[in-house]
Amino acid sequence: MADSQYNFPFRHLLGIEQLSCQDITGILDQAKAFEEVCENPDVKIIPALQKKIVVNLFFENSTRTRNSFEIAEKRLSANVINFDAASSSLSKGETLIDTATNLEAMRPDMIVMRHNAPGAHILMARHVNASIVNAGDGAHEHPTQALLDAYTMREKFGRLDGLKVAIVGDIRNSRVVRSNLWLLTKMGASITLVGPPTLMPLDMKETWPNAVFSYDFDEVIPKMDVLMMLRCQFERGTGMYISSQGEYAKHYQLNMARMEKAKKDAAVLHPGPINRGVEITSEVADGSNSLILRQVTNGVPVRMAVLYLLATGSPGAKD
Ligand code: CP
């Protein structure tokens, strides 16, 4: 396996916001080396983290991220503990900080954490010596999702710089959009955010002056290299901001009629889980432009890279 020779300068992966272009490229290049490990039937598992204990601490449901992290950890030979929030002492009223300090007392090396409260992983990082990997915090950040999205785009187009990317749909509730905005703008892509006005908070225009905002999906589609569709997050209240799912689909669903207007080689991405027939139709999600399952495959080497770089980072790594 080729090693990228890159040293990650942080003790935790809290978000994309704190990363430089060099950090992002270092992670993606290391992931490329690990992709070769995953694809080689004679290798598949390497001893890189065999002395490390990793706790997967998921307070929110997950299919892709949790299993992808666990497979990445096992491919690196880490010792894996899966914390089950439903059967933990949280149900007896234990606080997040008490949970953190009690986990720390058992000296894990890394904690991969998903929580519905924005910033919960930062609180955790303040109370433990273990490296924290943010696996999604409320509507704030989902850094490994943005990294695997970038990896997938770079794999298809050979670059991120200059790519035209539309991120479409439930901008208001999405942590995926925030991590992708940080990452793609740092790496020189141009971003157009598309959705109904009710799902695009006005303050985002101040935070992201370089992003273009549009309410007209049909006008945007022909110009884009990448159409990244977001899940309507009904569990976070999206239904209150749209008149009906049918009306939403009429203006913002990616369907075959809209794909007719797209560039021939436009890439369709979606972080999953998909609301089939709402933000995207099955014909497009399962069609020839879709890289949705490729995103899932790429999640494993990308997460291997993050865990490996954190475990082998310099002793003076910053928080
Ligand atoms: N993309 C993503 O975070 O999916 P899960 O919620 O299934 O982990």
What's the CA gap between 50 and 46, in Å, rounded? 9
3-state helix, strand, coil in the chain (%, to 5): 45, 15, 40
Q: What is the pLDDT of residues 248-274, one digit of tens each?
A: 999 999 999 999 999 999 999 999 999
C-beta of residue 137 within 8 angstroms of C-beta of residue 115: yes
In this prediction, residues 225-247 reach a mean pLDDT of 89
Q: Residue 142 C-alpha to ligand 1 middle, in angstroms? A: 9
C-beta of residue 109 within 8 angstroms of C-beta of residue 52: yes
**Taking the CA atoms of the chain, what radius of gyration do you get in angstroms?**
19
- Indicate if ligand 1 lies below 6 Å from the C-beta of 145: yes
Tell which one of 65, 82, 170 to mutate to probe ligand 1, the residue whose CB is within 8 A of the most ligand atoms.
65
Give the CATH number of the domain where residue 158 resides.
3.40.50.1370
For residue 232, what are the CA distances in angstroms to 64, 99, 188, 245? 17, 31, 27, 9
Q: Has residue 150 been placed in a domain?
A: yes
178 and 103, same domain (yes or no): no
What's the CA gap between 110 and 48, in Å, rounded? 14
Q: Residue 315 C-alpha to ligand 1 middle, in angstroms? A: 32
DSSP 3-state of 56: strand
- Indicate if ligand 1 lies below 6 Å from the C-beta of 116: no
The residue whose CA is least distant from atom 4 of ligand 1 is 64
Range of the domain at 249: 144-295
- Indicate if ligand 1 lies below 6 Å from the C-beta of 273: yes
In this prediction, residues 78-91 reach a mean pLDDT of 88
DSSP 3-state of 39: helix
Say what percent of the chain tops pLDDT 70: 98
- Indicate if ligand 1 lies below 6 Å from the C-beta of 287: no
250 and 161, same domain (yes or no): yes
Kindly report which listed range (241-250, 270-279, 296-305) carries the lowest average pLDDT score.
241-250
Q: Has residue 16 been placed in a domain?
A: no
The closest of 182, 176, 170, 171 to 210, measured between CA atoms, is 182
Q: Has residue 38 been placed in a domain?
A: yes
Tell which one of 62, 113, 140 to mutate to probe ligand 1, the residue whose CB is within 8 A of the most ligand atoms.
62
Q: Has residue 7 been placed in a domain?
A: no
303 and 218, same domain (yes or no): no
Burial class for 2, CB neighbours closer than 10 Å (0-12, 13-18, 19+) = exposed
What is this structure's pTM? 0.96
C-beta of residue 136 within 8 angstroms of C-beta of residue 272: no
136 and 154, same domain (yes or no): no
37 and 75, same domain (yes or no): yes
pLDDT at residue number 4: 57
Q: Has residue 4 been placed in a domain?
A: no
Q: Has residue 52 been placed in a domain?
A: yes
Q: Has residue 32 been placed in a domain?
A: yes
Number of domains in the chain: 2
286 and 303, same domain (yes or no): no
Name the residue with tokens 């998903």.
114
Q: Residue 150 C-alpha to ligand 1 middle, in angstroms? A: 16
122 and 38, same domain (yes or no): yes
73 and 172, same domain (yes or no): no
Structure confidence at residue 1 as a pLDDT band (50, 70, 90): low
Q: Has residue 9 been placed in a domain?
A: no
What's the CA gap between 234 and 168, in Å, rounded? 16
29 and 71, same domain (yes or no): yes
193 and 303, same domain (yes or no): no
Structure confidence at residue 27 as a pLDDT band (50, 70, 90): very high
120 and 151, same domain (yes or no): no
In this prediction, residues 8-23 reach a mean pLDDT of 96
Residues sharing a CB contact under 8 Å with residue 105, sequence separation 6 or more, in sequence order: none
The closest of 121, 84, 44 to 304, measured between CA atoms, is 44
159 and 282, same domain (yes or no): yes
Residue 3: pLDDT over 70? no
pLDDT at residue number 67: 97
- Indicate if ligand 1 lies below 6 Å from the C-beta of 179: no
Kindly list the strands in the beta sheet with 212-214, ordered across the sheet, starting from the edge strand earlier in the chain.
Answer: 212-214, 190-194, 164-168, 226-229, 267-269
Find the DSSP H helices in 48-174.
Answer: 64-75, 96-104, 120-127, 143-157
